[in-house]
Structures are given as C-alpha cells and as structure tokens.
Amino acid sequence: METIRFDYLNTFLTVARTRSFSVAAKELKTSQGTVSHHVAALETYFDAELFKRSANGVELTDEGATLKEAAEKILQQAQDTKAKISTAKLNLAGTIKIAASSIPGEHLIPSLISGFQKKHPDVKFRVKAEDSLTSLGILQTNDADFAAVGTTQGFEEKFDFLQIGEEQLVLIVPCSHGLAKHKSVKLSEILKYPFVNREETSGTRLEIERLLEKNGVLPQKLQVALELGSTESVITAISEGRGTSIISSIAATKAQAAGLIKIVKIQEAETPRKLYIVRPKRPLLKISEAFWDFCKGYRFKNEAISCSTG
C-alpha cells in the first residue's frame, strides 16, 4: 500500500480544479500518466473512487469531495508549518555583551539596541559601563562581545573598529561664567580657569590631551581641580560652578538643553572625534555577526541646542 505524499494531494486538487487529467498534467508540467498514477495511488490508499467521468470532464465523487476538503487543509498546514520553521531559522536569540564608555554607552548604544531589537526581539543585551581603555581591555579578554568607545589608541591592530557616530570636543562652563557669552575660545583661554577632568583611562581625557599636545599645550598646564569618573558627574560639577571642562558635544547638548551648562566651541577642536563599535578580529556567533551588520548602517546625528534664557 502506498503512503500519501504531498505531491499526490497537490495533483489531486489540480485535477479537481481543472476537471481534466490532461489539463492538470500541463499545468503541473508532468505527463498524464503521472497524474493518473497519483490519483490511482490515492484511490488505493482510501479504497474509494475519487472521480467520475462526465460530459464536462471529470467530477468529484462524494468521497472525492471529502478528500478535497481535507487535502486543502493538509497542504495549507504544511505550508504554514514550513513558513514558521523558516522564520524560526531567521530568528535570533541569546545575549550580547557590550563594554561601553560613557558617551557611546549612554547616547548611542541605547538607540542601536532599540533598532536591532525591533527586528530581533529575542536578543537581549548586557551593557557594562566602563571607560574606553577598560572597555577595550574587557573585549581583549573575551569578557564582552563588543566594546563601544571613543578612542582606538593602542588597539588599532588588535580589533576591527566601525564608526557609528561622531562628536566634537567642546568647552562647557556654568551659565553664569565669564566665558558663557563667548561663541568660541582658544585653548589658551581655558588654562586660566579651574578645570574638571576625567580619569586617566577615559577616552575623552585621552582625546583632550591629544588635542592639547597637537596645539603645543602641555596637559599639565590645565588647572585641574577635580578628576571624576563619568561625563554626568563632570556636568554636575560644572553646573555647580566648580570650574570648566571639555566633554563630548553629544552629552553637552542635552545638558545645555536642560539649562545646566553653556557650550562654548573650542577653535582648535574643529575636527570631529569618531565614536566606534569594536569587535575582535575573528568570526563571532550568529547573533553577534547580525548585530555587527546592523551597526554598519547606523549613524547618530546630534544638533546643538541653545542654553535656556528663561
């Protein structure tokens, strides 16, 4: 006894619809003998006559009508199941770990994750807040899948870097500060005021020192009053009148919009600073490769907003 095959049922339904073995054969791009064999196999299996001859071709018998209803459901369920299995193969699941410095971690990574999870809702993320060099170190020890940082210093040959945004270094001062009314200042002006700096391993601090040295200014000439571990703590200190600082334009924009500080451009800092997502130079798990590909199309846009003048 032959078993039921999907192609037998499809042949049967085609004959039922066209009312012709020969037309069904042409439509299915097969021989009329094959069509007859498929139908005969079904009739043997069900021990019933499925078609009867008529003036208009072939018509379903009562048993044939019963099989037609069942066959349509069977083939539809098979198609639905195939689609679900295919979709399941495309669905990604698991956890991606990212070590992120403050600017990309607080301002870029959340929107990146949100966009990716719209396509792959079963992927979870674990973001660890660190400074740039520590984040790169965590990536190097394989304790994270990616790092999000604002510097490549010392790691250029060890990882693949993908730019996901850019910013400029800007001076921030209290809204009542003497420099608050200036549109821009030179680096030499900044040396006259108490300065709130980031910790030594901060990507922002490394970029500040690079900017100073590039323009012939020794970082040691900064009147450092405080060293703090995050951009947000620096903003708080400046808003409380503790001095001036240089931070990312991305973070400064939001603080200025809230009326906490005033942004003043630095004349020597015209070149944007790049922000990166970083991966090891080796194949990654499927979900991590998918996230990397998603990051390739991501760009963060930031616009300055003036201080409140209430």
C-alpha 15 chain-centroid distance: 49
Average of per-residue pLDDT across 163-182: 92
pLDDT, tens only, 233-292: 999 999 999 999 999 898 899 899 999 999 999 999 877 888 999 999 999 988 999 999
- CA–CA distance, 242 with 209 (Å, rounded to integer): 21
pLDDT, tens only, 173-186: 999 999 999 999 99
- CA–CA distance, 106 with 112 (Å, rounded to integer): 11
How does residue 304 score in pLDDT terms, banded at 50, 70 and 90?
very low
Enumerate domains of the chain plus CATH numbers: 6-90 (1.10.10.10), 94-166+274-296 (3.40.190.10), 169-271 (3.40.190.10)
For the chain, percent of residues with pLDDT exceeding 70 = 94
- For residue 107, the model assigns a pLDDT of 86
Q: Which residues have C-beta within 8 Å of that of residue 172, sequence separation ≥ 6? A: 234, 235, 238, 244, 245, 246, 247, 252, 255, 256, 261, 262, 263, 264
For residue 300, give both structure tokens: 């963060």
For the chain, percent of residues with pLDDT exceeding 90 = 66
CA geometry: angle 145, 147, 149, nearest 5 deg: 175
Q: Which of 103, 113, 146 is nearest to 253 (CA)?
A: 103
